[in-house]
Amino acid sequence: MATFGLVDCNNFYASCERLFQPGLRERPVVVLSNNDGCVIARSNEAKALGIAMGAPFFKVRQIAMEHGVVVRSSNYALYGDMSERVMSVLASQAPAHEVYSIDESFLDLDRLAVPDLTVWCQDLRRRTQQWTGIPVSIGVGPTKTLAKLANRLGRPALPQGEGGR
Amino acid sequence: MEHCTVLRPADDPIELDLPLYGAQVQAGFPSPADDHIEGKLDLNEHLIRRPAATFFVRASGASMQGAGIFDEDLLVIDRSISAKDGDIVIAAVHGELTVKRLLKAAGAWQLTAENPDFPPLPIIGDTCEVWGVVTHSIRRHCGR
Ligand SMILES: [Mg+2]
């Protein structure tokens, strides 16, 4: 049976911002789109405040101010560099992988001969986080769709807990 | 606290192999240079073992002088290396990045400066965290 993994970087843009500024770690962080118009990434703390993905910033400005949310303009050069790092760690560990978006990659785990796939995935998570500083989640399933679903289900439930960076 | 700045490597690093001379500079008389070419050296290759895990950091302040790290020196950080007792590390301390030596003293981890003017920082709870291990420092010796 085919086995796919989906690796998805957690709150990718927000995690990139945090890596270089550890002081942002416990604080809610949002990243805005190019013209600072819309929220395109939220840390878990920002999600917990009910700030929605894609929300126009003017709609959440009030709540952001009240809760000391750190607001960042997007820095695509940084996110591109960090994405390349994550993808290269995945490429070095998985038999084959296919980059799906800036922060997601499908792993083809068919030919992976390991005694315990869960342990292998936990190891890959730890390694990716240590090497690049970016936390990731991994879902595994017999199809790409199910791997993606498994990834989604494996995450902590949050208000407006839909995906996104 | 002296804060360090993280720099990202260039987007398109070039490979540049230059001859490496095995010169014993203190040895006195010069001899024909050809005898001393040991091979080719590419600085990226020399300094960077795992590009995905490598970051550059600009050091700041005088706290690591004793280890030969001075203000404005460039540090090469390899996050794939797990920090051990005695390593020089970049640590996140109260949310800021700083360079210190990681030491285990009487069973307790601490971050120590290499300058008598700076007291050691005990690592308590999650106020401190190792961010990466410093593998090299690069220092400019000629300002022009
Ligand atoms: Mg993501």
Residue A60 CA to residue A39 CA, distance in Å, equals: 9
Q: Return the pLDDT at B62.
A: 93
Q: Count of CB atoms within 10 A of residue B59's CB?
A: 25
Any idea what the CATH number is for the domain that residue B96 is in?
2.10.109.10
Q: Which residue has the higher pLDDT, A152 or B37?
A: A152
- ipTM of the complex model: 0.88
Say if residue B118's pLDDT is above 90: no
- CB burial of residue B18 (10 Å; 0-12, 13-18, 19+): exposed
Residue B6 lies in a domain: no
Residue B13 lies in a domain: no
- Contact at 8 Å (CB) between A138 and A5? yes
Identity of the residue in B52, B95, B131 whose CB atom sits nearest the CB atom of A85: B52
Residue B8 lies in a domain: no
Query: Is A115 in CB contact (< 8 Å) with chain B?
Result: no
Query: Is A130 in CB contact (< 8 Å) with chain B?
Result: yes
Q: CB A88 to CB B96 under 8 A?
A: no
- Model confidence pLDDT, tens digit, residues B13-28: 777 777 777 655 555 5
> What value does the mean pLDDT of chain B take?
85
Residue B101 lies in a domain: yes
Report the relative pairing of strands A29-32 and A70-73 from DSSP bridges.
parallel
Identity of the residue in A22, A25, A78 whose CB atom sits nearest the CB atom of B97: A22
- Model confidence pLDDT, tens digit, residues A20-56: 999 998 899 999 998 878 999 999 999 999 999 999 9
Q: For residue B70, report the distance from its CA to the centre of ligand 1, in Å.
A: 39
- Note the CATH number of domain A4-10+81-153: 3.30.70.270
Say if residue B34's pLDDT is above 50: yes
Q: For residue A137, report the distance from its CA to the centre of ligand 1, in Å.
A: 8
Q: Return the pLDDT at B108.
A: 86
- Contact at 8 Å (CB) between B21 and B36? yes
Residue B9 lies in a domain: no
Spans of chain A, pLDDT less than 70? 156-165
Say if residue B1's pLDDT is above 80: no
Chain B window 16-55: which residues touch A at a Cβ cutoff of 8 Å? 50-53
Q: CB B52 to CB A25 under 8 A?
A: no
Domain range spanning residue B89? 19-138
- Model confidence pLDDT, tens digit, residues B53-101: 999 999 999 999 999 999 999 999 999 999 999 999 999 988 889 999 9
Q: Please provide residue A31's backbone torsions phi and psi, each rounded to the nearest 5 degrees.
A: -115, 135
Q: Does this chain's domain A4-10+81-153 share its CATH topology with A13-76?
A: no
Q: CB B53 to CB A77 under 8 A?
A: no
Q: Return the pLDDT at B63.
A: 93
Residue B125 lies in a domain: yes
Residue B34 lies in a domain: yes
Q: CB A130 to CB B94 under 8 A?
A: no
Q: How many domains does chain B have?
A: 1
Of A91, A131, A113, A111, residue with least CA distance to A7: A91
Residue B96 lies in a domain: yes
- Note the CATH number of domain A13-76: 3.40.1170.60
Indicate the domain borders of chain A.
4-10+81-153, 13-76
- Mean pLDDT, range B89-116, rounded to an integer: 91
Residue B7: closest C-alpha in chain A: A20
Interface test with A, best of B8, B12, B56, B94 (most A CBs within 10 A): B8
Chain B residues whose CB is inside 8 A of the A23 CB are: 94-96
Residue A19: closest C-alpha in chain B: B131
